[in-house]
Structure 1
Amino acid sequence: LLLCAGAPDTPEIAAETADAVAALAASRPGVVWVRDMMAPSAVRAVLSAATVFVCPSVYEPLGIVNLEAMACGTAVVASDVGGIPEVVDHGTTGFLVPFDEHDTAGFAAGLAQRVNDLLADPARAAAMGRAGRERAVAEFSWSTVAERTLELYRSVLG
Structure 2
Amino acid sequence: MLTNWDITPADVHGPEAAAVLREYYRDIVGRYYGREATEAEIDAAMAEDPSGSLVPPDGLFLVARAPDRPSAGPLGCVGLHWFGGGKVAEIKRLFVAPAARGLGGGVRLLEAIEKAAKEGGATLARLDTRSDLVEARRLYAANGYEEVAPFNEGPYAEHWFAKQL
Using structure 1 for the length normalisation, give the TM-score. 0.36
Structure with bigger gyration radius: 1
Instruction: Considering fraction of residues, name the structure with more strand.
Output: 2
TM-score by length of 2: 0.35
The structure that is helix-richer by fraction is 1
